[in-house]
Amino acid sequence: MSTATLLSVENLTMRFGGLTAIDDLSVSVPAGKITAIIGPNGAGKTTFFNCLTGFYKPTTGSVRLVHPKKGEMRLETMTGHRVARDAQVVRTFQNIRLFPKMTVLENLIVAQHNFLQEASRFSIAGIFRLPAYRKAEAEALRTAAHWLERLGLTDIADVAAGDLPYGTQRRIEIARALCVDPVLLCLDEPAAGLNPRESAELNILLLSLCREEGIAILLIEHDMSVVMKVSDHICVLNYGRKIAEGTPEQIRNDPQVIKAYLGEDDENEPATVMGGNA
């Protein structure tokens, strides 16, 4: 059961003009596990995320999601918001994208837009505050309050999100994504800019989301203290190609990976693509 595939990417290629950002990539993401995508800067990790979540339309290849309730879906044919709305594949961003002037709670309520919008019946039920809408709003509030509590944000729920420290904003972004009720959560460098203590807390959070809530997580990360501790499965990209795949232990000892990250003395391969711990 635990080996069931949630997302399978086959022969994915993304070209921008002459530049091939992703080259014939095939990856599968198991359900209920944490999968990490690592690789040096410019390896195509974020482009890969953009292809999965409908922000880019891949040049060729397929992205199949086996949704636990809705069955098989083809993500590469879905545009923009439909990936998050219908397939419930939700992402966060490398450079945090919150709604800075809105409060933390509002950020989490906005994430439940589709649910609430439907309940508001073209805003008519909402304008007159009919019971059906009020019930939906209370439910959305409970969801938000649950995740606020879970991520330790309850005390700052009514503060504008943009006024909060960087590490907190990262947590808010994850909380907001969780409010969309994801089956697959794609996190783009969630540990970037976090101090060691915050990184350790992130590890605990990711593991509990995966083990307790059964949410599959796809993770792009440079911080090896996070990647190696939480990942069940790691996929290494370089120049848009998959160069290795396996458990953390296998990846740590893979010569190809070491070469990509550190370069090799006796070859002409430049060491300039070293993965920085940005």
The 3-state secondary structure of 5-17, one letter per residue: EEEEEEEEEEEEC
- In whole angstroms, how far apart are CA 63 and each of 2, 14, 58, 89? 20, 13, 9, 12
Token pair of 7 as six digits: 């997302």
CB atoms within 10 A of CB 232: 16
Buried b (16+ CB within 10 A) or exposed e, 19-54: ebbbbebebebbbbbbbbbbbbeebbbbbbbbbbbb
Residues 223 and 238: their CA atoms lie apart, in Å, by 17
In the complex, the smallest distance separating the C-beta of residue 202 from another protein, rounded to whole angstroms, is 20
Handedness of CA 30, 32, 38, 44 (dihedral sign): positive
Site string for another protein, 236-265 (x = CB under 8 A): ------------------------------
Q: What's the closest the beta carbon of residue 128 comes to another protein, in angstroms?
A: 9
Binding of residue 91 to another protein (CB under 8 A) = yes
Query: Is residue 94 close enough to count as binding another protein by CB under 8 A?
Result: no
Give the residue carrying structure tokens 């993965």: 275
Site for another protein (CB under 8 A): which residue of 64, 85, 229, 241? 85
Of these, 16, 70, 77, 127, which contacts another protein (CB under 8 A)?
127
Q: How far is the CB of 68 from another protein (least distance, A)?
A: 17
User: Could you give the maximum distance between any two Cα atoms of the chain, in Å?
Assistant: 74
- Listed ranges 11-19, 28-36, 61-69, 92-100: which one lies at the site for another protein (CB under 8 A): 92-100
Residue 152 touching another protein (CB under 8 A):
no
Listed ranges 111-119, 203-211, 214-222, 224-232: which one lies at the site for another protein (CB under 8 A): 111-119
The alpha carbon of residue 60 and the mean position of all alpha carbons in its chain are separated, in whole angstroms, by 22
Q: How many CB atoms lie within 10 A of CB 207?
A: 14
Q: How far is the CB of 236 from another protein (least distance, A)?
A: 25
- Name residue, tokens 């950002």: 21
User: Which is it for the CA torsion 137, 138, 141, 142, positive or negative?
Assistant: negative
Figure out which of the listed residues 56, 93, 239, 261 binds another protein, where binding follows CB under 8 A.
93
Question: Interface with another protein by CB under 8 A: which range of 17-25, 29-37, 109-117, 258-266?
Answer: 109-117
Q: Which is nearer to another protein, 141 or 200 (CB)?
A: 141
Please report how close the Cβ of residue 167 comes to another protein at its closest, in angstroms: 19
Tokens, residue 2: 């635990």
Which amino acid, residue 84?
Answer: A
Residues 155-214 that bind another protein (CB under 8 A): 157-158, 160, 176-177, 180
45 binds another protein (CB under 8 A): no
Does residue 138 belong to the site contacting another protein (CB under 8 A)?
yes
Provide the binding-site residues for another protein, judged by CB under 8 A: 53-55, 80-86, 90-93, 97-103, 105-106, 109-111, 113-114, 116-117, 120, 123, 126-127, 134, 138, 141-142, 145, 148, 154, 157-158, 160, 176-177, 180
